[in-house]
Structure 1
Amino acid sequence: MPNGTVCQLVKLPVVVGETAGSVTVENITCPPEAVKKVDHIDVVVRDLEADPVFTAPTKEGVCNSPKATVHFGDPQCGNQPREIRKINIHGTVHKQIFYVDKDDHVRHMSEDIDFTKAITLSPPLIVLEPQNVEIDFRNVDVNVSFDLPRPTRIQQVVDVSFTLKIVEQTQLFVSVFPNGCEPTATLGIQDETFEDWIGNCPAQWQCVNVCPNPYGRTGQAAQLGCCPTLPAGMSRNVPDVLPGTAYELTFWARSVEVPRDPCDFTLVAQIQFLDAAGNPTGTVQQTITSQQLSDTYRQFRVNGTPAPEGTASAIVSFTFTPQPWNTCAALLDDVTFGQVGV
């Protein structure tokens, strides 16, 4: 390999989603004696935990949650990607209540209130390996308000707000240069098989209306048109493109069709060359109609085109444009972009 490159397997935390949430805990406390006033209440949250609930589609139906009871004949998920549709939050509110008794002495009592809440994710998050999913709590904030309607009743409202960060521990092979890197032209996109995702977008790509699909040509595929009546797109910037050098884009595509329902869309594969300031220097593209695709993968090629003078980078993009009555989506897999003959 060039420059002493070696391939190393590393484990990386990939953030697949982030959402804000809150829990309101209300209760009435009856102190052991008459209270003239509540001086203050100190509140902390303990044992705050989050449990994801998984579901996933299969060819036969819908997979059970890994925590659910599995009955004979139920579809099995195996190693398919799964969706996190809901997160169950639970924890304990620990309170230190300081009050003034009838003799004007400051007294103290404590209490623990357990709570649970289910947070629904919309849209759901797709993960590849549910057993490697971790959920972290960030920016946890606690506020308390109280009232003393009677000397023997303390009404309290505790608001707990937080941010949930959903992380999937993923193993990736990365190129390592023990002797350092030498400046050279980029290798472009080498056989992108869409196995690594951040949320609903492949790593290093920008996406709209895209999601992973388990029926790839090799492994997974990128599905354009998860909502088939809305436009979809994927794009990726490729740096260090050399002017005067011929580049080529190849990819495999197929359609996801609903029997007896209309299928009418176009898929445009485009290479846009840019100068150092980000201004276009040239564009080459190929338009594919839904009639050219079927449920079997077919390879397409945007033939080698020399990058114009002044080119410094390129944007490789795929644009899905449906008619309002369209019910089909397009799958992409095994995308390659680079110099011709390299």
Structure 2
Amino acid sequence: MPVPSQFFFSETQPVQCIEIKVPVVIEAVDIEQVVDSTITLPELALKVDHITASVRDLQGTPVFVDQLASGDIVLVPTVSPEREVYVKKVIVSGTIHKQIFYVNKNNEVKHFAEDLQFTKLQELSRMIKVKNRDDVFIQFHNIDVDINWELPRASRLHQTSVVQVTAKVSEDRQIFVQVCPSPKVCPAGTRLRDGGLEGWADPYHPIFWGASNVQQTTFAHSGTYAAEIGILNPTLPGSLFQMTSSGIVSGRQYRLSFWVAEDVNPLGAATAVSAFNLTAEVVFFDSMGVQIGIGSERLDSTGIPDGAYTMVQFVTPVTDQNVQSAMVRFSFIPAAGNTNTVKIDDVVLECTPLATSQF
């Protein structure tokens, strides 16, 4: 049996990995052992009705050889760091447990039990290199036993037992694996990076968000900064958005929460015109970037408080089975003559457990 295929994969998102120990099959061999036996029955028999058999106490022992990097076989164990350990053979031993049912001279069916030991030394098709001999063990599959018999004399029973088994040479190896959230469990925490909008490359470009007609503001709900949309030109559209694939799973709903405030024209309330709407969206995509779902909430400027933050949240529809990523987007759409802007802070996108009925 070949060694499992291995490959390198570059993960585009930060992942959590843990070290685990798993059994790896490094070789498999089919073993057949023929065992002949002749026994004397407790009494004279007219015939043998049937024999049932099973294999018990099956054990496997790997046989190792040490080899230096030069290819020389080491007959005497050494402590050389260049020594390599190989599995060359396996020793299989066990017990054939038989239940013999025969008919005596009184036409009565009687029972007789027999245990027969066997041992088989099997050489592998090639020597297999292992990392640690203490972690190597033998697993057995496809265990079968067949019995043929003859009764040459009334009390003498000759049997031929054929034991067939697949022995798999396995080694416990320590590997690192990526920890993935169960598809039946909502990933904990927000799915967005820098939802508090604290990281900025310059006053116009948040590090983890895409932005258009956006500027940094110190009027924040929490922390030091927030994002103000429409500040560069309140008569033009603006947007703030972020793509994420972390923790976006199928068959779930997601809740988008954010804090929003309206900023009145700094020239004064008398000349201010509040004529815009803000649309918050969570758009879902498949692996090819095709939109396969959306949840949204539209806010008119009249429903957003002036100079104070209020929290808004909504829950998306259940995600499609092919979902791979999501985009959170805030769209600022002004009407003619608008002078005001909108501030966004503390954005959170989190998975919400589905409601289940209790019976």
TM-score using structure 2 length: 0.45
More strand by share: 1
Structure with max Cα Rg: 2
TM-score, normalization by structure 1: 0.47
